[in-house]
Structure 1
Amino acid sequence: MKFCKKYQEYMQGQQKQLPGVDFKKLKKILKKCRKDFESHQDHDGQSCPHHCPVCDGTFFPSLVKEMSAVVGCFNKRAQKLLELHLASGFRKYFMWFQGRLQKDHAALIQEGKDLVTYALINAIAVRKILKKYDKIHYSKQGQAFKSKAQSMHIEILQSPWLCELMAFHINLRETKVKPNKAPALFEGCSLTFDDDKPSLSCELFDSIKLDIDLTCSICLDTVFDPVSLTCGHIFCYMCACSAASVTIVDGLKAAEPKEKCPLCRKTGVYEGALHLEELNILLSRSFHKYWEQRLQTERIERIRQVKEHWESQCRAFMGV
């Protein structure tokens, strides 16, 4: 079965109408472009220029809109799912009262699996349609668009919520749900080590493989209290605060828009940073002694910063 038909059947089979990549419409745009330029083919055999105004005016804007809708839907649903899993105390009772905690852990894993399938099949659809674009246009504009999509935060495989779902799966697999009684969320998903450097690895269908490095590029150690910036790079929360020139007390939302990511040098990446709570749980269980040491270090640093903060406030109040 061709992927286009398989994709359409999958999207039509969803209980809820979800946004997706209009694979069929995008193929029609490319097909029309090929027909238009075949009638004006140059003597050198090239049927379409590297930059095609016929396609670029409709193809890429449509794809951007659809990818934005897909990643927005995925992020929102993943966030709600993980809120259910992480709920505790009064918040848990409140969600129970609302009827949102009626699912057992196997049901949560199944919902996570459905989310991952939704993300991956749309990622494959984008990959295939961009490959077709380059084939028709004899160009690499489709491949170059992937970098643009990452900078626009619409590349779904770069979503921090996908990282959270991977950690979520491992956490449930190793604690409350027996493997032989729970549906698999990821095939071959695991916390792996290469030269003592941890990473989340996952073998996915259609030759897609995810490897998420869990080493903080600032302190060069396993990320502690991990946070993902909006550019997708993961750091220790304390290290990210230092890079953003803010205190732990003020937090990353206090960072100036001009502050840059230490890796990609993009600006404005701190305000929307996401705490990776499921990943934090996974790493704290896997590196218990290391976690206790880092926790003690952070407590001391937090106390120091709080003290400096109040001393500066007092000096300002007294006009010193």
Structure 2
Amino acid sequence: MKFCKTYQNYMQGQEEKLPGLEFKKLKKIMKKCRSGGCYSPIMLINHNNNINNNNPTIKCPIQCPVCDGSFFPSLLNELLEVVGCFNQRAQHLLELHLSSNSGFKKYLLCLSKSHHNSITQEGKDLVIYALINAVATRKILKKYDKIHDSKQGQLFKSQVQAMHKEILQSPWLIELMALYINTGDPKSSLFDGCCLTFKDGKPSLTCQIFNSYKVDIDLTCSICLVTYLL
């Protein structure tokens, strides 16, 4: 199954509406490039001649007014919604967990296994939500660069990281994963495909979701440069 279908099935399968990437809309924007929708008349003639000669060498221009004017702004808005939703929910869940582990309240809630399971499951769901949206972002930007034969997608990703708006940079994600590792079932399928790796001396956590897609989470804080401890 193609990732686009996997992503759509996942988002549609959520119990409540969550913000996500409009994959079809973003692909539709780029489809204009493949059909020559952003070429000048001369470029379009050359493009059609190359297609007729089985040599489609002309691609969408790197500085594309059609794509750049709608693709990146749309993607950025969607990413900000996803990150905002995730951070808000993750913060609320972690605060709930901390408050439930203090004093007499902790004693009462310890008697309720369902409460513990509920927090653990919600944490797991939020982690998967973050990871699949990270994969979706990577895939759509990779597709952009392939169509345009450019590095604009990589540049956009770097700009989002510099803004500290990439979901994998969220400290709430690390906190949630730590919570799940420490309170959840160690045999859970979520972490079957996870392993700790080092690149240039920096640790990262490689996670696999849906048995097909891998995501690398940098364990070094992008602000204070301190390594997270799970």
Cα separation, partners in 2 of 1:55 and 1:171, compared to 1, 3 Å: same
Identity %: 56
TM-score of the pair, normalised by structure 2: 0.77
CA contact (8 A) 1:11 1:20 kept: yes
Match of 1:63?
75
- Identify the structure with bigger relative contact order (alpha carbons < 8 Å, sequence gap 6+): 2
CA distance in 1, matches of 2:202, 2:149: 40
Unpaired stretches in structure 2, ≥5 consecutive residues: 51-56
Q: Does structure 2 retain, via aligned residues, the 8 Å contact 1:112–1:185?
A: no
> Which SS does the other structure have where 1:201 is aligned?
strand
* Structure 1: gaps of 5 or more residues: 214-227, 237-275, 283-320
Which residue is equivalent to 1:15? 15
Tell me the amino acid that sits aligned with residue 20 of structure 1.
Answer: G
Q: Is the 8 A contact 1:21 1:122 kept in 2?
A: yes
TM-score (norm 1): 0.57
Given candidates 71, 89, 93, the residue that maps to 1:81 is 93
Residue deviations 1:40-97, cap 9 Å, x none?
A: 344793222111111100000000000000011111111111112211447958xx8x
How many angstroms apart in 1 are the aligned matches of 2:178 and 2:218?
13
Q: Is the 8 A contact 1:19 1:73 kept in 2?
A: yes
Pair 132,193 (structure 1): closer, same or farther in 2 beyond 3 Å: closer
Change in Cα spacing, 1:81 to 1:189, as seen in structure 2 (3 Å) is farther
Other-structure match for 1:119: 130
The answer to whether the 8 Å contact 1:170/1:189 transfers is no
Alignment of structure 1 residues 223-234 onto 2, 5 Å: 231-234=222-225
The residue identity in structure 2 corresponding to 1:204 is: Q
Return the alpha-carbon distance in structure 2 between the equivalents of residues 234 and 108 of structure 1. 30
Task: Give yes or no for the alignment of 1:204 onto 2:208.
Answer: yes
Structure in which a larger fraction of residues adopt helix: 2
Q: For 1:113, what is the secondary structure of its paired residue? A: helix
Match of 1:187 among 186, 192, 199: 192
1:258-314 CA-partner distances (Å, limit 9, x unpaired)? xxxxxxxxxxxxxxxxxx8xx5xx6xxxxxxxxxxxxxxxxxxxxxxxxxxxxxxxx
In 1, the alpha carbon distance for the partners of 2:60 and 2:223 equals 35
> Per the alignment, do residues 54 and 60 of structure 1 end up closer, same or farther by CA in structure 2, a change over 3 Å counting?
same
Decide whether aligned partners of structure 1 residues 34 and 154 sit closer, same or farther in structure 2, where only a CA change above 3 A counts. same
- Equivalent AA in structure 2 for residue 62 of structure 1: S
Root mean square deviation of aligned Cα: 3.0
Match of 2:54 in 1: none
Q: AA paired with 2:21?
A: V
- Deviations, residues 18-37 of structure 1 (Å, cap 9, x unaligned): 00000010000000232214
SS of 1:46's partner is: coil
Which secondary structure state, in structure 2, belongs to the residue aligned with residue 58 of structure 1? helix
Q: Are the aligned partners of 1:201 and 1:212 in contact in 2 as well (CA < 8 Å)?
A: yes
Equivalent AA in structure 1 for residue 62 of structure 2? H
